[in-house]
Amino acid sequence: MQIAGSDAKVVAQPDRLDRVKRFDTAELPWLVIALVGLLALAVLPPFLFLILASVHEFELDGSYGALTLDHFQAIMASGKLSTLVLNSAIYSGGSALFALVVGATQAWLAERTDAPWRNWLWFASMISLGVPYVLYIGGWLLFLGKSGPVNALLKPLLDAAVAPVNIYSIPGMIFVEGMIWSPLAFLMLTSVFRNSDASFEEASIMSGASTLTTLRRVTLGMAGPALLAFAMIVFIRASESFEVPALVGIPGSARVLTSTIFQSLHLDMPPNIGEAAAFGVILLVIMTVLLRLYDRMVRNAHRFRTVTGKGFRPRVIALGPLRPVAGLLIVIIPAVVIAIPLSNIIWAALLPYYEPFNLAALGKVTSVNFVKVINSPSFRETIFNTLLLGVVTATVVSVLSGVAGWCLARRRPGSWLIDTLAAMPLVFPAIVLSLAFLEIFVHSGALYGSLTSLAIVSSVAFLPYGLRYGQIGVMQIHPELEEAAALSGARGWVIFLRVIVPLIAPALVSCWLFVFLLAVRAMALILLLVGPDSHVVAVSLFELWQNGAIGEVAALGCIWTAIMTVFSVSFYLVARRTQTPIG
C-alpha cells in the first residue's frame, strides 16, 4: 500500500506541473488577444481618421470629398512650415534647458547637500501638481504682462515708452513652459542624485578637485544620461504643448505648430479641417522621430550605473559657509516658481476688477468673484464632470495597466504587441489626438460632446503613463508566487486577482492618483470635444480667460487648486511610501 501511495504521488506531480504549463501557455493567449483587440480599437482609429482628413477635400456638410494632396501642398507653398518648425524647436529646446537647470539645482540641493529647509522643495512641488495649467500661465501673464507690476515698476525706471518686458514672445513662452516643468524635473531627478555613488566624488576630492569641479565633472557626469533623457522628455512635451502657445504665443503672434492647428480649426472661417489634419500628420512624424531618439538614449543608460553591491552609500555634502546661500536658494526658487503666479491669481480673485497690486487697492478687496462662481448654475456641474472624468479615466487606465503590465512583465507570447499599441498614443500631441477623435465622433454620429467621449480620449492618451506603473509593480514580484498558486490548483484569473493584485495594489494606487491628476488638468486633449453638458474645469478656465473674465478665472482656479492639492499630496505620500517612481 505504501508503494501504491508513493506511485500515486509520483503520478500526481506531473499533473500539477501541467497546470503550471497550462497557466503559462493556454489561458493567457486569450487575455493577450483580448487586450490587443481592445488597444487596437482604441489607438488605431485616430491614426486612420487623421490621415483620411489630411488627404481629402471636405464637403459643406463636413463629409469627405475627393482625394487630394492640396492641404500638404498649400502648407509647403505658403513657406510658413519652416518658420513654425524653427519656432517650435527654439521654444521646446529653451523650455527643456530652463526646466532642467531649475529642477536639477533643486534636486541636487535636496538630495546631496545639508542645506536647510529642504522639505520646502517637496511641499512646493506637490502644490504645483494641483495647479491647472491655464491658471498657472494666467498668473505669470498678470505678473509680467504689459500692465503687470514688473512693467509698471520698470517703465519709469528705464524711462521706456513701451513695456520693457514682453512676455507675449518666444522667450516669454520659454520662460513660462520651463517654469511649468521645473517642479516635475525636481521630482524626477531627485532619485538620480540620491543614488549617485559617493565613492567617485570622494576620489575626485582626494585627487585635489574642488567641490564645484567635482559637481561639474563627476556628479553631473554620472547623472548625464538621466539629465539628457529628461531634457528630451521636456523637449517632446513642449513641442506638443498647447496651453502656453495659445495663451502666450497667439496674442503676440509667436506661432508654433500646435497653435497653428488650433487657429485652423477655430479662427479660420470656415474651419480648415484639412489643413489642421495635414499639420497634425507633420507633427505626428516629428514626434515619432523624437521618441525614437529618446528610446536610443535610454538604451545606453546602463553604461552609467553606479549603484552596485559593493558598499554603495549616498553622500551628503557639507556646504559649510555656503549653507546659508543654499538655504536662500531653497526659499527663492519655489517662491518664484509657485508663490509669484499663485499670489497674483489670489490677488485677482479678491478684486472686483483686476489691477496690479497697490496699497490703495486693498480697500477694494471683496469675495464677489467667489460668490459669483459658487452661485453659477454651471459651477457644481463643472466640478462634478471634472471629478467624474478623472475618476473614470484613472480607473480604466489602472485596470488596463495592471493586466497589461502583468503580461509585459511576464513576457507572455504576443505581449510585445500590447506594448507597441499601448505606447502609440505617445506620438500624438494632445491637440492632434483631440482632432483625430473629433473626426471619429463626428463621422460616427455618436458620443460627440458627451462626457463619455472625454473619458475615452483621456484613457487612450494616459494609458502609456499608467502602464509604466503596472509593469514596474509586477516586475517586483517573483514568478514563483504565481507558480505556487498554480500548483495549488488556482486558475489564471484567480491567481491574478488573489495573488498579483494585492501585491501590486500600492503601485496601482499611485497610478490611479497620477492619472487622475493628469486627466483633470488636461485642456488641449479635450478642448475640441467638449459639449454644452460636458464642461470641465480646465476648459472653463480657458474660455473664461479668453473672454476676459479674469476675476472669475482666478476664483474658480483657487477653489479647484485647493481641491487638487489634497490629491497631489496624497499621490506624493503614496508614491514615497511605496517607493514608486513619480512621473
DSSP-assigned states of every residue in 173-197: HHHHHHHHHHHHHHHHHHHHHHTS-
Task: Specify the higher pLDDT residue, 216 or 564.
Answer: 564
Q: Phi and psi of 233, rounded to 5°? A: -60, -45
Grid cell for residue 239:
513641442
User: Are the beta carbons of 124 and 210 closer than 8 angstroms?
Assistant: no
Q: How far apart are CA 572 and CA 17, in angstroms?
A: 43
Reported confidence tier of residue 20, pLDDT bands at 50, 70, 90: very low
pLDDT at 4: 44
pLDDT at 454: 94
pLDDT at 314 over 70: no
pLDDT at 482 over 80: no
Q: Kindly report the average pLDDT of the chain as a whole number.
A: 82
User: Are the beta carbons of 526 and 447 closer than 8 angstroms?
Assistant: no
Average pLDDT, integer, range 376-391: 92
Percentage of residues of the chain with pLDDT beyond 70: 87
Give residue-wise pLDDT tens across range 519-553.
Answer: 999 888 898 899 888 889 999 999 999 898 999 99
pLDDT at 11 over 50: no
Degrees to nearest 5, angle at CA 239 with 552 and 541 = 10
Q: How far apart are CA 40 and CA 107, in angstroms?
A: 39
Strand partners, 58: 64
Give residue-wise pLDDT tens across range 32-54.
Answer: 788 888 888 888 888 888 888 88
pLDDT at 206 over 50: yes
Reported confidence tier of residue 195, pLDDT bands at 50, 70, 90: low
pLDDT at 578: 65
Percentage of residues of the chain with pLDDT beyond 90: 27
- Please enumerate in sequence order all residues whose Cβ is within 8 A of that of 13, keeping only pairs 6 or more positions apart, or say none: none
Give residue-wise pLDDT tens across range 275-312.
Answer: 888 888 888 888 888 877 777 766 655 454 454 444 55
The model's pTM:
0.83
Reported confidence tier of residue 15, pLDDT bands at 50, 70, 90: low
Residue 65 is inside which H or E element, if any? strand 64-67
* Alpha carbon 37 to its chain's center: 26
pLDDT at 141: 95
Q: Which of 70-84, 135-149, 482-496 has the lowest mean pLDDT?
A: 482-496
User: Are the beta carbons of 397 and 425 closer than 8 angstroms?
Assistant: no
Degrees to nearest 5, angle at CA 231 with 228 and 237 = 145
Reported confidence tier of residue 128, pLDDT bands at 50, 70, 90: confident
Give residue-wise pLDDT tens across range 170-183.
Answer: 999 999 999 999 98
pLDDT at 559: 94
State the distance between the two ends of the chain, measured CA to CA, in whole angstroms.
62
In 3D space, the residue among 219, 15, 30 whose CA is nearest the CA of residue 112 turns out to be 219
User: Are the beta carbons of 75 and 155 closer than 8 angstroms?
Assistant: no
Give residue-wise pLDDT tens across range 227-274.
Answer: 877 788 888 888 888 999 999 999 988 999 888 888 887 766 677 888
Domains plus CATH for the chain?
A: 16-67+372-583 (1.10.3720.10), 86-256+324-366 (1.10.3720.10)
Average pLDDT, integer, range 432-446: 83
State the amino acid at position 249 in one-letter form: G
pLDDT at 347 over 80: yes
